[in-house]
Structures are given as structure tokens and as C-alpha cells.
Chain A
């Protein structure tokens, strides 16, 4: 392996390759920032540009785009609740709340750091034991994938921890929307009403832009008097506390991304959702998730990046794309005259190791680029909202149009913008809806394939030990919390559990976070809310989150009032 690394470094460390790697990650960051235009389209668009290059240089640049877009996608998710890529939907949940509290800088910085750490860990694993992982991936047939999808679906429960029924309802809504389009088993065009654009399903990226970006924008307009967020300098940089809290979350996220990334076709979006779900379940500060907890930003980003790297396991070892972008990269291999397949490592060691080493270089460049830029990007929020929101509309619609070069996408964004707004006003959770929409097609596909494999008998799932273990995890995910809650309830004397208590808690969170949304403009805060905010601040040192007051934690420090 050392020989190979040396070979890789020799091949990757040429001035030309370094330059194109830099250009690649820079372009990738921009592509990632733009909503709609994703890394797969970005790579496809730039393939013709690279045809004149040496294959390694070309692939290094394209891989740079892939990695850069993972970093960039989170930036707009955090700043303006507009996920740049499907996998950064989850980053909007806590990242955006952090930004509303004036902590956009740390959110962006930790996202870059977490992504970097995850990328490094997963790259070492990728280099050391890719063939081993490849054989693991092959043990995942349709029944096992069905179990994985059920596990993914079960995280809905944690996304709506206080009223599971609503979460389930939203998740089902997502699953139903996902059934629109041509089904994989029979090729029937379902619920398309003759609209050819709907044959490939309700387009996910556009739905996301509508729900999150436009929905939040309309919600902000409704609330009115949106003041630019002026963060003090000390709020722009990471604190020791932030870093301390992020370490376990980063590791959990990396691990989850790892596992999901190896499975062909599961995708980094699923990985990010599962990572967030795991945080809600296992994090020490799980009660703060959703109100701007740093764990909720770093874990999904780590998962996205490690799964993005692990996507290369099937790509390089089996010649089978691990995801949408790696599929395009495989196409690019062919165009450069390289046959991807199981012999790639053997036949093209210089190319493969050069490429892998370039992943390291690319990620280092990304960290160097993104970490100092975090406070700079955070300044976007100083733009008066009366200019910011027209620009968000501009970006969302132009971005949506470029997804498929089609006005249809724009209408989808507008329709789901209104739906998103209604959901925000009613305070219905969006994450389960998106999760249902992501998992729906995958779930149905593995269901169809399992039933075809078992000659109509889905029960073959229970014959697979791997599937059984995963299903067991899903059961724990759904019912584990109950026992946990009961346990805490008995220990804490019912302070946390119970219907009345939870309702109190939720109302409390709603009010305090709205106060924080208005920022430091104390004169705008009505007296009762001021009291609530004060209560939240008082509880700030108590970050363990083991009391109702702890839920308001993570408030900006009270200085400057």
C-alpha cells in the first residue's frame, strides 16, 4: 500500500494536477452553493471541457467538483435555509436555526471541519480496505436493502419526537408523493395524468427548494420585521465548547455515512438523514436538536462526506456506480478510454492511486478555503431582508430551472413553496416528508425486487441474517425511545415525559426560538417573551439538557444587550 501511496503522490503532485484540483474544488463549491444544480449535473457539464486533458488530470478535476459541491451545499442551507444539494436538507434544520441566532459563522466552520474530518477518515478506509468493503456491499441484495430502507423510514419517529403521529403522517405523505411516476416493477405511469414530466416522479430537488427556501421565505415575510442578523465577532468563530460537542457527533456521522455509502444506490441523502436520526437518539444534547444545536449540523455533514467517499468503493472496485455522481464519473472514465471494472486497481494503479491521493489534496484545499471563508459567508445575513429575499427567489428559481432546463421545475418550486409555507405556519415538520420522498422510490424498488426474488414472497427478508439485524435496529429506533422516555420519566419524576409536559415544552421552544429569530433587538421583544428569553439565557450554563429549561440552551451569550 505504501508503494501505491508513493505512486499516487508522484502522479497527483504535479503543478498541473494541483492547479486543476484547485479549480475543480472551487467550481464544485460554487455548484454546491447553487440550489438545484447538483454535483452530478455539474460534473456532466464539465466533462467536455476536460476531454483535452490527460485522463488523471481530468478525473482529478471532476472529483474536485464532487468533493467541493459537498462542502458548498451546506453554505446556503445554513445561511438561507436553501439546501444546495439533496444531501444538505438536514443541515437546514439546525444550521439555519444557528444562523438565526447569529451563529452562522460557527455553523459554517464546523460544517467544513466535520466534512473534512469525515473525508479524511473515510479516505484512509477507502485506500486501505476498499476490496473488503466491496465484498461487504455484495452481501446486500434486495432483501437487505429493503431492511435498510425500513430502518431509514423508522428515523421518522425521531424527527418528530413529541408528536409521532404527525411525523408519521408527513412521512406517509412523502411516500405517497414518491409513488408518482413510472414504477420500476411494471413500468406503469402512476398518477401522472398524461404529464410526461411526471413520468420520472415528482422532482425531488425542486420540491426541496420549494419547501425549504421559498416556504421559509414566505414564512419570514409573514412574520415581518425581519432584521438583518448582526453577529458579534466572537460569535463568528468556533468555541472550545463547540468543538468538544462536535467530536462524538462527527464520528457517529462518519460511521453512518461509511456504511450507507458502501451500499450501491443508497445515496448520501439517506446517510445524512440517518446521521441526524442517530443524533436525536444518542447525542448528549439531543433535546436541543432542531433549535440550533451544533451536533445537528456536523453529524449529517460528516455522514454526507464520508458516504460520498465510500461511494467510490463499488465504483472503483466493481465498476458499479455507488451514486448519481459516481455514475457520471464512470461515464467519464469510458470517455478517456479507461475501462472501469474489477481490474481497474490492477490495470491502472497510477491513475487510481493518483485519483485517491487527489481526494486528500482536494479536501485539504477545501478546508483551507472554507474555514476562513465561514465568517465571510456569514456576512451575507447582514444584507437587508428587503434585498435578500428577492435574491433568494432569484437563486431558487434560476437554480431550479437548471436542474432539468425546464419551466416545469419552476412551477414545482412555486407549488411546493406554498405548501412549505402552509406547513411552516401550521408548524408541521418537513423533515419526515422529505425523508418519505427520498426513501419512497428506494423502498418500493427493493420491495418489488424482493418479491420478484422470492417468487412473490416478501418473507425472504426474514431468512437473511443481515436483514434481521437491520430490522432489529429499526425496531429499537421506534420503540427504544419509549423505554428510554419511561426510564427518564421515573428517574426525573415526570418532568420530561407526559402529555401536558411535552406540550408545555414545545410551546416553550417555539416562543424562545422566535425571540432569538428577532436577534438582539430587545426593544421588539414583548415583555412575556423577554422573560422567556431570560429564562433560556439563565439556563445556558446548564447545557446537559436534562430539564425543560435546558431546551432553550445554545442561546447567544447575553452580552451586548
Chain B
């Protein structure tokens, strides 16, 4: 049974490998890209996370914005979730040279290669546009003795303070590390696999505090379930509920956390194709349906395109390496 299974696995792997290679070379036999290139047929937008999440929503907003313009192609979203994004981003390596393919990515694409043995780096893909920055609001259960983030750091000097953290490579992990480094303390963390679980743990008082996304925090704060301790943004949120929340900087803690969200095209595409997508992304991001998404998700609207985005990424990569290695 075992040997059979092994053999099958090996032949399966080698066969798929072989065929993937051969089919790529046959199908993507496009020698030169004409000056007036436009995508045709179906354009696939890969999302490395499950449907319903933040990345997925941004991809669907992009697809909708692109399709509304009727550019002669049909954009559709494909979720390839798993391994905190590793599965989707690795699979996007296979799109090399394909101008008909887009990728939604976020800061974790910088962090994963630092921590894990994955095949990709963000430089394998072509940066198109950064459309928003995301951050976190640090919250505690309503009946918590903590009132701001300094209380957390002070308490951690003497007691055990438990943080609820969703994912080991995302914004939550960066917030925890940033607060630890700024305060010179250490927090114990309970790992969760989704932000929903973190909210449950906060509501039931299982953890002392947790960094959560603004769109998750706001309704809970409004309902009086959570106390907001501080926001990890550079400036306060422009939101009726969150406007009262001080930033960590205001509280004298030198820590801001931003997690970019953006689009990539496949690596190795032609300059004509890159330029096409930069222009298309500009129009899509400025469209009404995309604005609505940014507002709903309470993201910080930021726009960077092409080379500017690439420079930003290089800088971001250095920051992340400082935090995670």
C-alpha cells in the first residue's frame, strides 16, 4: 500500500511537472507583444486567501471595477488559499510571462519568505499598484483594567499579559512585536487561526488584549463589547467610532504598523502589458465601487503605482527583515 502510494505520488508529481512545463511552452508561445496589446477572454485574479476575507473582497472589488469598464475581457477571482498565503503566491509563479493574470497581495508576501522556505519572493512578480494601507486597533475586553497601550506595557513588566494573535505572519504578529520592541517587554500570545476566533476570545475574556482590524473593532466598540486601547496607525481613523481612539504615537509609544494591500501582475511580462495594467488599475482604483470597498473595510487609502510601488516594497522588505529575523 505504502509503496504503491509512494510510486503513485512520484509519478503523479513528475507527470504534472513535465506536463506543466510542456504546456506552458506550447501555450504561451508569444514571441513579441504588439504595441496595442490588450488582454482578451478571461483575466484571472488570484487571491491567496479564502473567500470572504479582506484580500478576497479587494479582489472582487477590483474585478467588478474592471468589468464595469467593459475593456474587452472578463475578470474573475480565483481563491487559492492555504499556508497563510504561501499556496496562492507560489502557484502564481506558474503564471510567469502571462499578461492575462493578476494577483492580489498584502504585506505577508514580504514576511513569508523571511520565515519560511517558500519558492517565491515578492520580486518574482511585477508590482502594479498599491491601493491601501491597513493597520490594527489594539482592543481589550470591555471589563478590562487596561485603558491604553501604556497600561499593557506596564502590566507586562510585572505580570503575564496574554495577546490574542491571528496568524503568525500577518499584521497581528507585527503589532505584538512592535509593542514589545517599543516597550521593552514581552507578551505571551495565544495563536488563533482567524480574526473571528480572536474576537470570540476577547469577548469571552480568554485573552487580555488583541490587535484587530478597524472594520472588526468598530462595531464591537460601538456596542460596548471592547475597549479601544490604541490605534497602530500614524494618524487617527476618520470614523465616527474610531476617531476617539488615540494612536500609539500619541500615547508616547514609538510604534506604527502598516500592512499594504496591492496588485501584482505575473513576473516576466512585457513592458506594454505592465503599462496597460498600471493604467487599468488607476482607473479601477479611482472608480466608485472601489472607493466603497476601501471605506467599508476602513482601510487607509494610499495609491502608489509601478516603480513607486516597487520602491515602497523594497523599503518595506527591509523593515520586515528587521522585525522578523
Binding site for B on A (CB under 8 A): 40-41, 43-44, 47-48, 51, 137-142, 181-182, 184-187, 189, 194, 196-197, 199-201, 264-265, 314, 318-321, 324, 327-332, 334-335, 337, 339-344, 404-408, 411, 414-415, 418-419, 422, 445, 448-449, 452-453, 455
Q: With the chains together, A41 CA to B50 CA distance in Å? A: 9
One of B5, B63, B91, B297 near A418 (C-beta < 8 A): B5
Contact of B197 among A40, A264, A453 (CB under 8 A): A264
B84 CB within 8 Å of chain A: yes
Using known A-B contacts A328-B51, A405-B80, determine if residue A411 contacts B189 with beta carbons closer than 8 Å. no
Tell whether A138 pairs with B203 under 8 Å between CB atoms, given A51-B64, A445-B193: yes
Q: Which 5 A-B pairs have the closest CB atoms?
A: A200-B82, A341-B219, A199-B83, A331-B52, A44-B51
Q: A335: which B residues are within 8 A, CB to CB?
A: 57, 60-61, 293, 296
CB-defined A-B contacts under 8 Å, sample of 11:
A142-B190, A196-B91, A199-B83, A200-B87, A318-B203, A334-B215, A335-B61, A337-B296, A341-B222, A342-B220, A408-B16
Q: Is the CB of B83 within 8 A of A327?
A: no
Q: Find out whether the CB atom of B201 lies under 8 angstroms from the CB atom of A141.
A: yes
Residues on the B chain within 8 Å of A196, using CB: 83, 86-87, 90-91, 118-119
A residues in contact with B189, CB < 8 Å:
452
Residues on A with beta carbons closer than 8 Å to the beta carbon of B8: 411, 414-415, 418
Q: Are B206 and A330 in contact (CB under 8 A)?
A: no
Contact partner of B117 among A194, A332, A455, CB < 8 A?
A194
Shortest Cβ distance from residue B166 to the other chain A in the assembled complex, whole angstroms:
10
> Knowing that A141-B201, A328-B51, A341-B219 are A-B contacts, what are 15 other residue pairs whose CB atoms are under 8 Å apart, sorted by A's residue number?
A40-B52, A41-B79, A43-B51, A44-B79, A138-B204, A181-B83, A185-B191, A201-B82, A265-B194, A327-B52, A342-B219, A343-B222, A405-B78, A407-B16, A452-B162
Q: Please report whether the interface of chain A is mostly helix, strand, loop or mixed according to DSSP.
A: helix
Q: CA A328 – CA B57 in complex, angstroms?
A: 10
> A343's closest neighbor in chain B, by CB?
B223
- A138, A140, A329 pick with most chain B CB within 10 angstroms: A138
Are B83 and A200 interface neighbours, CB within 8 A?
Answer: yes
Contact A449 B87 (CB under 8 A): no
Contact B219 A340 (CB under 8 A): yes
Collect the chain A residues with CB atoms within 8 Å of residue B53's CB.
327, 331
Give the nearest-CB partner of A315 in chain B: B196
Given contacts A186-B168, A264-B196, A343-B223, contact A44 B117 (CB under 8 A): no
Contact check, B200 vs A320: say whether CB atoms are below 8 A apart.
yes
Known A196-B87, A337-B296, A406-B80: A332·B199 in contact at CB below 8 Å: no
Q: Which of B188, B216, B223, B293 has the most CB atoms of chain A within a 10 A radius of its CB?
A: B223
Q: Are the C-beta atoms of A182 and B52 separated by less than 8 Å? A: no
Whether B116 contacts A189 by the Cβ 8 Å rule is yes
Q: State in angstroms the CA–CA spacing of A414 and B206 once bound together.
A: 43
A319 touches B51 (CB 8 A): no
A327's partner among B12, B194, B215 (CB-CB below 8 A) is B194
Which A residues lie within 8 Å of B115 (CB)? 187
CB-contact partner of A48 in B64, B82, B91, under 8 A:
B64
A139 touching B200, Cβ below 8 Å:
no
Of all chain B residues, which has the CB nearest A47? Answer: B60
Q: Flag B1-20 by CB within 8 Å of A: 1 or 0 each.
A: 10011001100110010000
Task: Write the nearest CB–CB distance from A155 to chain B, whole angstroms.
Answer: 24
**Closest residue on chain A to residue B168 by CB atoms:** A187
Task: Determine the chain B residues whose CB is within 8 A of the CB of A186 once the complex forms.
Answer: 168
**Which residues on A sit within 8 Å (CB–CB) of B118?**
196
Q: A337-B292, A342-B220, A406-B91 are in contact. Are A328 and B52 (CB under 8 A)?
A: yes
Instruction: Determine which residue in A332, A337, A341, A445 has the highest number of CB atoms from chain B within 10 A of its CB, and name it.
Output: A341
Q: Give CA–CA (A201, B82) in the complex, Å.
A: 8
* Complex interface residues of chain B between 48 and 80 (CB less than 8 A to chain A): 50-53, 56-57, 60-61, 63-64, 77-80
B78 to chain A, nearest CB (A): 6
Given contacts A189-B117, A327-B196, contact A339 B218 (CB under 8 A): yes
Residue of B nearest to A411 (CB): B12
Complex CA gap A411/B169 in Å reads 30
Complex Cα distance A194/B118, Å? 8
Q: Let me know if B216 and A319 touch, CB within 8 A.
A: yes
A residues less than 8 Å from B168 (CB atoms): 186-187
The closest CB in chain B to the CB of A450 belongs to: B190
Question: CB-CB < 8 A to B219: which residues of A?
Answer: 319, 339-344
**Chain A neighbourhood of B9, CB < 8 A:** 411, 415
Q: Contact check: which of B52, B83, B162, B203 meets A329 at CB < 8 Å?
A: B52
Q: Are B87 and A341 in contact (CB under 8 A)?
A: no
Whether B4 pairs with A418 at a CB distance below 8 angstroms is yes
